[in-house]
Amino acid sequence: MKRTRYKEIETLLKVKIQHGVLKVGDYLPSENELCTNFSITRTTVRKALDNLLKEGYIEKKHGKGSLVKERRHSLGLLNVKGFSEAVGMNVNTIFLQEPAKREWSTTTSFRPSENELKANSLHFEQLRCVGDDPVMLENNWFADLELKNIIGQEFVEGSFFKTLSQKYLIEVTGSEQELRAEYADERTAGYLKIEPGTPILHISVKFHTNKSNLNIYSELYCNTMKYPIGNSYHL
Amino acid sequence: MKRTRYKEIETLLKVKIQHGVLKVGDYLPSENELCTNFSITRTTVRKALDNLLKEGYIEKKHGKGSLVKERRHSLGLLNVKGFSEAVGMNVNTIFLQEPAKREWSTTTSFRPSENELKANSLHFEQLRCVGDDPVMLENNWFADLELKNIIGQEFVEGSFFKTLSQKYLIEVTGSEQELRAEYADERTAGYLKIEPGTPILHISVKFHTNKSNLNIYSELYCNTMKYPIGNSYHL
DNA sequence: TAGTGGTCTAGACCACGGT
DNA sequence: CCGTGGTCTAGACCACTAG
């Protein structure tokens, strides 16, 4: 990757945001300040800010400044309505299996690469609830290559992806998904407190990250009766 | 909306692409040519091209030029694998109900605005097939406000959205979706050639367009057994 | 070597927000 | 009024592609 002036400023600001030096709602230094602080022109500063804007880190207000935005760490991914998106709702995450070395699943829709399969697999399983209602069973696998010491560590604000971003500076750069409507099996139905055979939404995801040897493979089983899955896209 | 030089160039090029004057694979005039042709500087030209790039109309090749890209008119929306995305597969669309004035549905997940409800509703229903397999039942509603003469008109390449883009210069700017796994009802099951009670994926979509009084409300019912719904997101 | 896009400078004027 | 971001000019040098 070529090093450029705007990329410097961009990552510098991004790191400050990720590490919480710049918090949500904080105003960034003005474009002119950045110009003088880093001895560059506004064109270059604006290129850096444009990229942060595109990636959803900041928001610009004409006549006021640029401020740090709540990062919709979704990026075209699916969110459970009243879950990641809802504010003030009573959301709980229960670990059914804490992160640990376990076998790669043979039933994921997306097959890990040979490199990944050669490495050990880390896995964890969570049950996502809205209040007392369990709505999603979530299984995650990833190769034990990049995330040193993640086992036993608390997740930042209970979120795996926030932990990746803040502790390891790893960002999700894309994803592939497959959606299916299926009958719930015994185990899944048990955790979701529904009758076996009820239709559930099965989502298989492969998350790509900025580390080429790190992908996260997720299998989600959702009870969409009470809480349908929602997502939105704009511009 | 403020008129700017870069917006001029941008829409001018966009219209040429949409009308097929510039075809997929064609190279745009070089940045320097555009500069002299329109008497503007490269900064402005590049701003225009950046926007086209962001919207997926073009692709840039360092050292060669900018060329028109196959537009994935998906934008974070869902595609049926082996459907919009598949090439060379035997895809058929059957009209169950041709576009015509019909009542607004009372069962769509997203409620049309009062303005839209006051206007007449246009509706059409399609059955999407891969080969002889019906895989998706699709219902669409929209207010009869912007699309003059769309009734009785053939769709461009059989696609409603291509028609919007090329005949009316209307672009989808965003969408909201809700996903549910449900039991197939009698009618849906009949068309999809499955047993009533089979799990199907129900997708409700509200498409936003660059015309503020035009939204498209879609209800999709998918048999995901043989062809799961796939989508991908990058960068 | 000529032409393309990628980066960057050093200015300018405008539109918006708040004092 | 001043400071902010939004638009735009007129250059420059570099890196990549291809004949």
pLDDT in tens, A187-202: 999 999 998 889 999 9
User: In this structure, what token pair is assigned to residue A220?
Assistant: 């989600």
Give SS3 for B177: strand
Query: Can you say whether the dihedral through the CA atoms of A116, A122, A127, A128 is positive or negative?
Result: negative
Predicted TM-score of the model (pTM): 0.74
Give SS3 for A53: helix
Question: A82: pLDDT confidence band, cut at 50, 70 and 90?
Answer: very low
Distance CA B3, CA B1 (A): 6
- The domain that holds A173 is classified in CATH as 3.40.1410.10
What chain B residue is nearest to A81 in terms of C-alpha separation?
Answer: B178
* Residues packed against strand C, CB within 7 Å: A 2, 4-7, 39-44, 47, 61-64; B 2, 28, 30-33, 42-43, 46, 60-66
Query: Can you say whether the dihedral through the CA atoms of A143, A144, A149, A151 is positive or negative?
Result: positive
Mean pLDDT across chain A: 84
Residue finishing a domain among A50, A68, A86 = A68
pLDDT at residue A74 in the model: 40
pLDDT tens across A151-161, in order?
888 888 777 88
Same domain, A152 and A118: yes
Which nucleotide is closest to B7, CA to C1'?
A: D7
Report the share of chain B in percent with pLDDT over 70. 88
- Indicate if the pLDDT at residue B6 is higher than 80: yes
Question: A108: pLDDT confidence band, cut at 50, 70 and 90?
Answer: confident
Considering only CA atoms, which residue is closest to the C1' of nucleotide D5?
Answer: A62
B176–A contact, CB cutoff 8 A: yes
Which has more confidence, B210 or B44? B44
What chain A residue is nearest to B172 in terms of C-alpha separation?
Answer: A235
A43–B contact, CB cutoff 8 A: yes
Same domain, A156 and A218: yes
* Domain assignment present for B165: yes
pLDDT at residue A199 in the model: 93
Which nucleotide is closest to B48, CA to C1'?
A: D7
- Tokens 């979704």, located at residue: A74
Distance CA A56, CA A54 (A): 5
pLDDT at residue B139 in the model: 94
Which has more confidence, B208 or B39? B39
Same domain, B168 and B134: yes
> Which structural domain range is residue B137 located in?
74-222
- Indicate if the pLDDT at residue B77 is higher than 90: no
Which nucleotide is closest to A49, CA to C1'?
A: D5
Question: B9: pLDDT confidence band, cut at 50, 70 and 90?
Answer: very high
* Domain assignment present for A229: no
pLDDT at residue A86 in the model: 34
pLDDT at residue A113 in the model: 87
Q: Which residues pair with A66 in a beta bridge?
A: A60
- Indicate if the pLDDT at residue B72 is higher than 70: no
pLDDT at residue A88 in the model: 37
Region at A82 (left for phi over 0; alpha for psi -120 to 50; beta for the rest):
left
pLDDT at residue A97 in the model: 94
Q: Is A226 within 8 Å of A220 (Cβ atoms)?
A: no
* Domain assignment present for A99: yes
Mean local confidence (pLDDT), B168-192: 86
Helix (H) or strand (E) holding A23: none
Mean pLDDT across chain B: 84
Question: B73: pLDDT confidence band, cut at 50, 70 and 90?
Answer: very low
Considering only CA atoms, which residue is closest to the C1' of nucleotide D11?
Answer: B41
CB hemisphere CA count around A45 (13 angstroms): 16
Mean local confidence (pLDDT), A76-88: 41
Same domain, A57 and A84: no
Of A173, A224, A233, the CB nearest to B180: A224
* Domain assignment present for A231: no
- Indicate if the pLDDT at residue B75 is higher than 70: no
Number of domains in chain A: 2
Query: Can you say whether the dihedral through the CA atoms of A53, A55, A58, A61 is positive or negative?
Result: positive
Mean local confidence (pLDDT), B93-112: 89
- Indicate if the pLDDT at residue B39 is higher than 90: yes
Question: What's the Cα-to-Cα distance from A225 to each of A87, B22, B107, B180, rounded to whole Å?
Answer: 21, 47, 16, 7
Considering only CA atoms, which residue is closest to the C1' of nucleotide C17?
Answer: A63
Contacts (Cβ under 8 Å, ≥6 apart) of A232: B174, B175, B176, B177
Same domain, A130 and A194: yes
Same domain, A63 and A92: no
- Indicate if the pLDDT at residue B163 is higher than 70: yes
Helix (H) or strand (E) holding A140: strand A133-143
pLDDT at residue A84 in the model: 45
pLDDT at residue A19 in the model: 82
Task: Supply the DSSP symbol for B147.
Answer: -
pLDDT at residue A58 in the model: 92
Same domain, A64 and A78: no
Which nucleotide is closest to A65, CA to C1'?
A: D4
Same domain, B59 and B102: no
What torsion, rounded to 10 degrees, do the Cα atoms B227, B219, A137, A89 define? 160
Q: Nearest Cα to A181, choosing from B235, B113, B227, B57?
A: B227
- Indicate if the pLDDT at residue A79 is higher than 80: no
* Domain assignment present for B48: yes
Residue finishing a domain among B18, B40, B68 = B68
User: In this structure, what token pair is assigned to residue A122?
Assistant: 């880390």
What chain B residue is nearest to A46 in terms of C-alpha separation?
Answer: B47
Mean local confidence (pLDDT), A210-235: 80
Distance CA A151, CA A148 (A): 8
Q: Is B104 within 8 Å of B114 (Cβ atoms)?
A: no
Report the share of chain A in percent with pLDDT over 90. 43
* Domain assignment present for B102: yes
- Tokens 């490199």, located at residue: A115
- The domain that holds A36 is classified in CATH as 1.10.10.10
Backbone phi, psi, residue B143, to 5°: -75, 145
Same domain, A19 and A107: no
Residues of A in contact with B230 (CB under 8 A): 176-179
Q: Nearest Cα to B8, choosing from B39, B54, B30, B32?
A: B39
Give SS3 for A82: coil
Q: Is A85 within 8 Å of A79 (Cβ atoms)?
A: yes
- Indicate if the pLDDT at residue B156 is higher than 50: yes
List strand D contacts in B 19-78 (CB < 7 A): 39-44, 47, 61-64
Which has more confidence, A68 or A88? A68
- Indicate if the pLDDT at residue B84 is higher than 70: no
Mean local confidence (pLDDT), A87-94: 62
CB within 8 Å: B179 and A179: yes
Same domain, A63 and A78: no
pLDDT at residue B86 in the model: 34
Distance from CA of A152 to the nearest CA of B (A): 31
Same domain, B48 and B21: yes
Residue finishing a domain among B21, B49, B68 = B68
Question: A78: pLDDT confidence band, cut at 50, 70 and 90?
Answer: low
pLDDT at residue A66 in the model: 95
pLDDT at residue A165 in the model: 77
pLDDT tens across B125-135, in order?
999 887 788 88
Question: What's the Cα-to-Cα distance from B177 to each of A75, A132, B173, B221, rounded to whole Å?
Answer: 14, 25, 14, 13
* Domain assignment present for B204: yes
Which has more confidence, B79 or A135? A135
Which has more confidence, A109 or B189? B189
Distance CA A100, CA A123 (A): 6
Contacts (Cβ under 8 Å, ≥6 apart) of B174: A232, A233, A234, A235, B75, B207, B208
Query: Can you say whether the dihedral through the CA atoms of B142, B147, B150, B151 is positive or negative?
Result: positive
* Domain assignment present for B114: yes
Distance from CA of A125 to the nearest CA of B (A): 22
Backbone phi, psi, residue B102, to 5°: -145, 170
Question: A167: pLDDT confidence band, cut at 50, 70 and 90?
Answer: confident
Same domain, A145 and A87: yes
Length of chain B: 235
